[in-house]
Amino acid sequence: MSYIKIDFSKMASQLQTTVFENPWRVSTAAVVVTSAAIAYADYRHYISFGPHGLPDNFWGWYKQLRMSTKARKDVTKPAPYDINAVAGPHDRKSYLNTDAPSKLEPRPGNKAPEIPNFVAPQRQTTQQASEATKKAMFAYLDTVASSHPSVLQIQDSVLEGPVPALGVKDFASRSETDKPGVLRATRGEMCHIHPPDGSTHLILSLEDSRKIIELGWGRRHRLSGGGLLPWNYTLLYAPRDEAEFEIWKSVVEAGVGFCMAHMQ
């Protein structure tokens, strides 16, 4: 049996020569390796969320990475609802019910749920809703749609894929003058629930979105105000108990009231 003799002292000498004579190559290689490791970890984290609006593969991860050039980071700050160029005719009005038990007050606890910084999907990884609560949430959307059968419908989400969403009935076939501007980016979709965690994306008046954010019940989407989604596009955190489920319902009602005001 033959053995390969390795001259470690010679290898060390050659490595030392490379480092001293070509430090920029070593630095570049270190940066490339580190960046690749970070990117791979980020990619693995992305696909761990499973199916959503973008493909749960490399191309979906790459697309959301490209969208980050138009994304914002100030999602825990309200939209500039006081700017005339942004606010629409109904944006300064609140559609939230101020009566108990759904009166909006600061969200209990002093810690918001953890939400990874992806442009999409926007999901909670902590403080998620129970399966029973999520079932009740989807049932409530059915109730809202059936309460306005000539205007609303349950449809597959145009943003999340095959997820039930609340939208304007036959939005695509409506005339351009009958398509509210605030709903055009979502193609008539008002609200959808994320099955994995129970968080909700919905469109609110800017006044109500401001209240939601300032009282700790949600945040904006990273693309809201970035040109791809309206400033009104808001993430509402998952309800953790029955009391928060009642508040969730009141916020959904507020969003529907705001969106329908544009069609009257």
Q: What is the mean pLDDT of the chain?
A: 81
Classify strands 189-193 and 161-168 as parallel, antiparallel or unpaired.
antiparallel
**Strand intervals (E) in 158-248:** 161-168, 189-193, 200-203, 218-220, 233-236
- CB contact at 8 A, 141 and 252: yes
Residue bearing the bigger pLDDT, 155 or 24: 155
pLDDT of residue 31: 47
Domain ranges of the chain: 8-67, 75-261
pLDDT of residue 233: 94
Structure-token pair, residue 138: 């989807």
Q: What is the pLDDT of residues 163-207, one digit of tens each?
A: 999 999 999 998 888 888 889 999 999 999 999 999 999 999 999
- Model pTM score: 0.78
> Which DSSP symbol is given to 163?
E
pLDDT of residue 73: 83
Q: What is the pLDDT of residues 29-71, one digit of tens each?
A: 554 445 455 554 555 555 556 665 556 666 666 666 666 777 8
pLDDT of residue 249: 96
Those residues with Cβ within 8 angstroms of residue 215's Cβ, 6 or more apart along the chain or in another chain? 104, 105, 106, 107
Q: What is the pLDDT of residues 198-224, one digit of tens each?
A: 999 999 999 999 999 999 999 999 888
Burial class (CB in 10 A: 0-12, 13-18, 19+), 56: middle
Q: How confident is the model at residue 2 (pLDDT cuts 50, 70, 90)?
A: very low
Q: How confident is the model at residue 83 (pLDDT cuts 50, 70, 90)?
A: low
